[in-house]
C-alpha cells in the first residue's frame, strides 16, 4: 500500500490536477485557466493572457472556434466511436483523403492516432514491420539528432536528443544513435552556418556507415526545429545532402512535423519547402487537432503501405485510432484553415512577426538571436549580444522568461533544452488567426517581459 494511503480520508487531498506531478517549484505560478477565445485565455481571477506560443504550438486556429465545436458535437450525436479493426467510419475515410491530398504525392496513406508521440511510434513500428516483411530483419538502428524532441513514450525518449535523459535511459531503453543538429547561431570554432551544416550531414553519413547501412532503419528529424533546437531552419543544401545520404544507404527518411507542420511555416508540410528532398514518411499532430481533439497522423506512400498490407499488414493499433469525433474535429480544423487562408497568412504575417522580434534586439540586449520561419520563431537569450555568450545555466533563463510572462499578460512556451547546454530560448508561435493589432500588442508585452527579466538579471549582478 502506498505511504499516503493511510490516515483519515477526510483530510487527504484528492486529485490535484496534472500539475501535482510537476516539480513543486513550478506549480505556484501556474494560472488556473477557465476560458479561452481567439488568441486569449482568462484565469479564475478574470486576468487575460495572450497565448504567445499556442500552448506548445498546438492551438493553430485559435480558441473557441464554434465551427469545430459544432462539428464535434454533431459527430458525437451521430456516431461517437467505431473500432477500426471491426468497422470503417466515414469521418476517417473523408479526413484521410483530404489530408493525403494536401500532403501530395508520396503521402497517399494516412494512419491516425491520438498525438505526436503515437504518430512517431507508429512511423517507427511501421518501418520496422516493413523491413521484417521485406526480408531485412537486421534493420534495427535508428539515427536522430542532438538535440531533438520526438515525444514522451519510452521509445520516443530513447530517440530524443536530450542529454539530461541519459541517466533515466541507462539500462532501461537503448538510445538511438545521435548526430548533431545543424545550429546556425552559436557555432563551433572555424565554422560558418554553411560549413557546419555540411559537417552535420557528413557526420550523418559516417554514423550510418559505422552502424552498417544494412542495420539502419531510419533517420528521424524535424525539418524545421521546435522547442528542442529553438526553431532552427536548415539550408536547402543540408536537406538535399540528408536526402541523398539516406537514399544512397537505403535508410528511410522520416520528417517529424508534429510541431512544424500544418501550415506553421507557410506551407502545409514544412517538407514542401524542399520539394527535391521529400521524406519517405511524415508525422503530424498538434495543429492537426488544434487543441480541440487529440489527433496525430503518420503519412506514408501508397506503395509501401499497400505492399505491407499484402505481406502481413501493419499489426499495431490503439483503441482511439481514427476516432470519428477526432476525425470530424480534424476535418473542421481544415475547413477553418481553408476559410481563413491560414497557411498563406503564416507566410505573409510571419514576416511582420519576425521583424517585430528582430526589433527587440535593440531594446533588449539579452535577445541574441531570432530564428524560425512562417509563424514559428524562437528567441534566444544571451548575456552578451556581441560575443553570443549564453546566460549562466543557474539563471534558468528559459524558465524565468516564461514565469515573467503572466505579469505582462503572456503565456510563453519554454523549458531548458539539454540543461541549457546549447543556450536558452522560448517559442513565439501565436495562433495563426492573430490580427496585426493583436500581434503588435503581444510584441509590446514581450518587450516589457524581457525588460523586467533584464532588470532582475542586473540586480543579481549577472548583466
Ligand atoms: C517535434 C515533436 N515531435 C513529437 C512531439 C510529441 O507530441 P505529443 O506531445 O503530441 O505526443 C512533440 C511535442 O512537443 C514535438 O514537438
Between strands 281-284 and 367-373, the pairing is unpaired
pLDDT range class, residue 234, cuts 50, 70, 90: very high
Tell me, using a 6 A CB cutoff, whether residue 413 lines ligand 1.
Answer: no
- Is residue 261 domain-shared with residue 286, that is, in the same domain? yes
Tell me, using a 6 A CB cutoff, whether residue 374 lines ligand 1.
Answer: no
pLDDT score recorded for residue 419 = 84
Asked if residue 204 belongs to a domain, the reply is yes
Taking the C-alpha atoms of residue 156 and residue 445, their distance in angstroms, rounded to an integer, is 35
* Structural element, H or E, at residue 110: strand 109-113
Q: Which CATH number goes with the domain that contains 86?
A: 3.40.640.10
Taking the C-alpha atoms of residue 25 and residue 41, their distance in angstroms, rounded to an integer, is 23
Supply the range of the domain harboring residue 382: 342-459
Tabulate helix, strand, coil % of the chain (nearest 5). Answer: 45, 15, 40
Tell me, using a 6 A CB cutoff, whether residue 149 lines ligand 1.
Answer: yes
- Is residue 213 domain-shared with residue 350, that is, in the same domain? no
Query: Could you tell me the three cell numbers for 268?
Result: 502545409
Selection from 18, 22, 16 nearest residue 415 by Cα: 22
- Is residue 327 domain-shared with residue 205, that is, in the same domain? yes
Tell me, using a 6 A CB cutoff, whether residue 56 lines ligand 1.
Answer: yes
Tell me, using a 6 A CB cutoff, whether residue 117 lines ligand 1.
Answer: yes
Cis link prior to 111 (omega < 30° from 0)?
no
Selection from 253, 227, 241, 216 nearest residue 123 by Cα: 253
Tally of CB atoms within 10 A around 77? 8
Paired with 413 in beta bridges are 427
Q: Which residues contact 307 (CB under 8 A, 6 or more apart)?
A: 130, 134
pLDDT in tens, 104-120: 999 999 999 999 999 99
Query: Is it the case that residue 5 has pLDDT exceeding 80?
Result: no
Burial annotation 346-357 (CB, 10 A radius, 16+ → b, else e): bbebbeebbebb
Task: Tell how far the Cα of 454 is from the centroid of ligand 1, in angstroms.
Answer: 31
Query: Could you tell me the three cell numbers for 436?
Result: 496585426
pLDDT range class, residue 1, cuts 50, 70, 90: very low
Please tell me which residue, 397 or 152, carries the higher pLDDT value.
152
Asked if residue 28 belongs to a domain, the reply is no
- Is residue 209 domain-shared with residue 354, that is, in the same domain? no
Query: Is it the case that residue 216 has pLDDT exceeding 50?
Result: yes
Identify the domain boundary among 340, 362, 395.
Answer: 340
Identify the domain boundary among 317, 340, 363.
Answer: 340
Can you state the angle between helices 342-363 and 436-459, rounded to 10 degrees?
30
Tell me, using a 6 A CB cutoff, whether residue 115 lines ligand 1.
Answer: yes
Tell me, using a 6 A CB cutoff, whether residue 256 lines ligand 1.
Answer: yes
For residue 431, CA distances in Å to 57, 216, 375, 413 come to 8, 38, 9, 13
Strands (E), 155-210: 177-180
Asked if residue 41 belongs to a domain, the reply is no
Tell me, using a 6 A CB cutoff, whether residue 429 lines ligand 1.
Answer: no
- Is residue 179 domain-shared with residue 251, that is, in the same domain? yes
pLDDT in tens, 21-66: 888 876 556 899 999 999 999 999 999 999 999 999 999 999 999 9
Query: Could you tell me the three cell numbers for 173?
Result: 531503453
Tell me, using a 6 A CB cutoff, whether residue 428 lines ligand 1.
Answer: no
- Is residue 87 domain-shared with residue 186, that is, in the same domain? yes
pLDDT score recorded for residue 213 = 98
Identify the domain boundary among 296, 313, 340.
Answer: 340
Tell me, using a 6 A CB cutoff, whether residue 229 lines ligand 1.
Answer: no
- Alpha carbon of residue 40 to chain centroid: 21
Q: Contact at 8 Å (CB) between 260 and 224?
A: yes
Tell me if residue 435 falls in helix, strand or coil: coil
Asked if residue 419 belongs to a domain, the reply is yes
Query: Is it the case that residue 306 has pLDDT exceeding 50?
Result: yes
Asked if residue 53 belongs to a domain, the reply is no
Task: Tell how far the Cα of 116 is from the centroid of ligand 1, in angstroms.
Answer: 5
Q: Which CATH number goes with the domain that contains 374?
A: 3.90.1150.10
56 CA: nearest ligand 1 atom: 14
- Is residue 205 domain-shared with residue 237, that is, in the same domain? yes
Tell me, using a 6 A CB cutoff, whether residue 151 lines ligand 1.
Answer: yes
Asked if residue 10 belongs to a domain, the reply is no
DSSP state of 255: E
Task: Tell how far the Cα of 4 is from the centroid of ligand 1, in angstroms.
Answer: 33
pLDDT in tens, 336-376: 999 999 999 999 999 999 999 999 999 999 999 999 999 99
Nearest CA to ligand 1 atom 8: 116
pLDDT in tens, 377-387: 999 999 999 99
Task: Tell how far the Cα of 328 is from the centroid of ligand 1, in angstroms.
Answer: 22
Task: Tell how far the Cα of 386 is from the centroid of ligand 1, in angstroms.
Answer: 33
pLDDT score recorded for residue 417 = 84
- The number of residues making up the chain comes to 463
- Is residue 235 domain-shared with residue 367, that is, in the same domain? no
* Probe target for ligand 1 pocket from 285, 296, 372, 415, with the most ligand atoms within 8 Å of CB: 285
Taking the C-alpha atoms of residue 266 and residue 373, their distance in angstroms, rounded to an integer, is 8
How deeply is 52 buried, as exposed, middle or buried, from its count of CB atoms within 10 A (0-12, 13-18, 19+)? buried
- Is residue 206 domain-shared with residue 346, that is, in the same domain? no
Asked if residue 57 belongs to a domain, the reply is no
Structural domain tally of the chain?
A: 2
What residue has cell string 541574441? 368
Asked if residue 444 belongs to a domain, the reply is yes
Q: Contact at 8 Å (CB) between 115 and 296?
A: yes
Selection from 326, 319, 279 nearest residue 300 by Cα: 279
- Is residue 326 domain-shared with residue 348, that is, in the same domain? no
pLDDT in tens, 271-296: 999 999 999 999 999 999 999 999 99
Nearest CA to ligand 1 atom 7: 116
- Is residue 167 domain-shared with residue 202, that is, in the same domain? yes
How deeply is 240 buried, as exposed, middle or buried, from its count of CB atoms within 10 A (0-12, 13-18, 19+)? middle
Q: Contact at 8 Å (CB) between 164 and 147?
A: no
151 CA: nearest ligand 1 atom: 6
* Structural element, H or E, at residue 143: strand 141-146
- Is residue 287 domain-shared with residue 390, that is, in the same domain? no
Give φ, ψ of 318 to 5 degrees: -125, 155
Taking the C-alpha atoms of residue 38 and residue 25, their distance in angstroms, rounded to an integer, is 30
Tally of CB atoms within 10 A around 211? 17
Averaged confidence pLDDT in the chain = 95
Between strands 109-113 and 40-43, the pairing is unpaired
pLDDT range class, residue 217, cuts 50, 70, 90: very high
pLDDT score recorded for residue 27 = 55
Task: Tell how far the Cα of 151 is from the centroid of ligand 1, in angstroms.
Answer: 5
Amino acid at each position: 500500500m502506498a505511504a499516503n494511503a493511510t490516515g483519515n480520508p477526510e483530510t487527504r487531498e484528492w486529485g490535484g490536477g496534472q500539475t501535482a506531478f510537476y516539480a513543486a517549484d513550478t506549480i505556484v505560478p501556474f494560472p488556473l485557466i477557465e476560458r479561452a477565445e481567439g488568441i486569449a485565455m482568462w484565469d479564475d481571477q478574470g486576468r487575460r493572457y495572450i497565448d504567445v506560443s499556442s500552448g506548445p504550438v498546438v492551438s493553430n486556429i485559435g480558441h473557441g472556434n464554434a465551427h469545430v465545436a459544432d462539428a464535434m458535437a454533431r459527430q458525437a450525436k451521430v456516431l461517437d466511436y467505431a473500432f477500426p479493426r471491426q468497422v470503417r467510419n466515414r469521418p476517417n475515410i473523408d479526413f484521410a483523403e483530404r489530408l493525403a491530398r494536401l500532403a501530395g504525392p508520396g503521402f497517399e496513406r494516412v494512419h491516425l492516432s491520438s498525438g505526436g508521440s503515437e504518430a512517431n511510434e507508429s512511423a517507427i513500428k511501421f518501418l520496422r514491420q516493413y523491413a521484417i516483411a521485406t526480408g531485412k530483419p537486421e534493420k534495427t538502428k535508428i539515427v536522430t539528432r542532438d538535440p531533438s524532441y520526438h515525444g514522451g513514450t519510452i521509445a520516443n525518449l530513447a530517440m530524443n536528443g536530450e542529454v539530461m535523459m541519459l541517466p533515466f535511459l541507462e539500462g532501461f531503453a537503448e538510445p538511438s544513435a545521435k548526430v548533431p543538429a545543424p545550429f546556425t547561431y552559436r557555432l563551433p570554432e572555424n565554422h560558418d552556418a554553411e560549413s557546419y551544416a555540411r559537417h552535420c550531414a557528413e557526420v550523418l553519413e559516417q554514423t550510418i556507415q559505422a552502424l552498417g547501412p544494412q542495420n539502419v532503419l531510419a533517420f528521424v528529424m524535424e525539418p524545421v526545429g521546435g522547442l528542442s533546437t529553438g526553431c532552427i531552419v536548415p539550408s536547402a543544401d543540408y536537406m538535399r545532402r540528408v536526402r541523398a545520404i539516406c537514399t544512397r544507404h537505403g535508410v528511410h527518411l522520416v520528417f517529424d512535423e508534429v510541431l512544424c507542420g500544418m501550415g506553421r511555416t507557410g506551407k502545409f508540410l514544412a517538407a514542401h519547402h524542399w520539394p527535391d528532398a521529400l521524406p519517405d514518411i511524415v508525422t503530424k499532430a498538434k495543429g492537426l487537432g488544434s487543441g480541440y481533439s487529440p489527433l496525430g497522423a503518420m503519412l506514408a506512400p501508397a506503395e509501401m503501405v499497400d505492399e505491407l498490407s499484402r505481406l502481413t499488414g501493419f499489426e499495431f493499433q490503439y483503441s482511439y485510432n481514427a476516432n470519428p469525433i477526432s476525425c470530424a474535429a480534424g476535418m473542421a480544423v481544415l475547413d477553418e484553415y481553408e476559410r481563413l487562408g491560414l497557411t498563406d497568412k503564416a507566410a505573409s504575417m510571419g514576416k511582420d512577426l519576425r521583424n517585430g522580434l528582430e526589433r527587440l534586439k535593440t531594446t533588449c540586449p539579452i535577445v541574441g538571436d531570432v530564428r524560425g520561419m512562417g509563424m514559428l520563431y524562437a528567441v534566444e537569450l544571451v548575456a552578451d549580444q556581441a560575443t553570443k555568450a549564453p546566460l549562466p545555466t543557474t539563471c534558468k533563463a528559459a524558465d524565468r522568461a516564461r514565469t515573467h510572462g503572466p505579469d505582462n499578460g503572456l503565456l510563453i512556451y519554454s523549458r531548458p533544452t539539454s540543461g541549457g547546454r546549447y543556450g536558452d530560448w522560448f517559442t513565439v508561435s501565436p495562433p495563426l488567426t492573430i490580427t496585426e493589432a493583436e500581434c503588435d500588442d503581444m510584441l509590446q508585452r514581450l518587450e516589457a517581459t524581457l525588460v523586467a527579466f533584464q532588470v532582475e538579471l542586473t540586480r543579481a549582478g549577472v548583466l
